[in-house]
Amino acid sequence: KAGVTQTPRYLIKTRGQQVTLSCSPISGHRSVSWYQQTPGQGLQFLFEYFSETQRNKGNFPGRFSGRQFSNSRSEMNVSTLELGDSALYLCASSTSPTGGTDTQYFGPGTRLTVL
Amino acid sequence: KQEVTQIPAALSVPEGENLVLNCSFTDSAIYNLQWFRQDPGKGLTSLLLIQSSQREQTSGRLNASLDKSSGRSTLYIAASQPGDSATYLCAVRPRETSGSRLTFGEGTQLTVNP
């Protein structure tokens, strides 16, 4: 079974631009979560989508948004990029059954650099 | 609010040594705890998942324990090898939030010297 894939793997943008990152979950997984990883803040939760609906949202400004499609693929968008948005963006997928018994599987990440 | 702490932040050991990584969390109301490995610049690889009703899980040279009442987990690595060098992260899935949200510790950076 193919793992979680993320595209692109690397991105360089300038301040003020916007960017869209994509995540394809493991086949059969309906939950997709996004995390931002920086040296100073560690791994921080952005949001989670399940069956095309946002189920959880972290403490990030409205410039960060996402969506999920009917095939469970997810995209996240960051508008008006700031230098502090430079980070590794990771997505994770799971089957998300009730009771919280599932394992989270992570993709390789997208490295975003904002100049 | 759930907080996760990992000690030590960094650890350097000679090859062959057995070692223990520690993880503590402030709220025992969790669904599960998961240990991950991260190589530099890469994504996270799941190592072990312990459900809240379990005390330990084993996979090869790895053994993870969970003491939910005291808010602690340990990851034991037997006979360490240079290939074990990586950052190890623990994460809990709190019951206070619905869905699959994880709360992560800062990680322990492990170096195994040949």
Could B44 and A106 be called an inter-chain contact, meaning their C-beta atoms sit closer than 8 Å?
A: yes
Could A48 and B44 be called an inter-chain contact, meaning their C-beta atoms sit closer than 8 Å?
A: no
Dihedral angle at the C-alpha atoms of B100, B103, B105, B111, nearest 10 degrees?
10
How close is the nearest chain B Cα to the Cα of A20, in Å?
Answer: 19
- Residue of chain A nearest B94, judged by CA positions: A100
pLDDT of residue A97: 60
Residue B22's contacts (CB-CB under 8 Å, 6 or more residues apart) are B6, B7, B8, B72, B73, B74, B108
pLDDT of residue A99: 56
Show the low-confidence residues of chain A (pLDDT under 70). 1, 97-100
CA A94 to chain centre: 13
pLDDT of residue B101: 87
Could A94 and B99 be called an inter-chain contact, meaning their C-beta atoms sit closer than 8 Å?
A: no
Answer whether residue B85 shows pLDDT above 90: yes
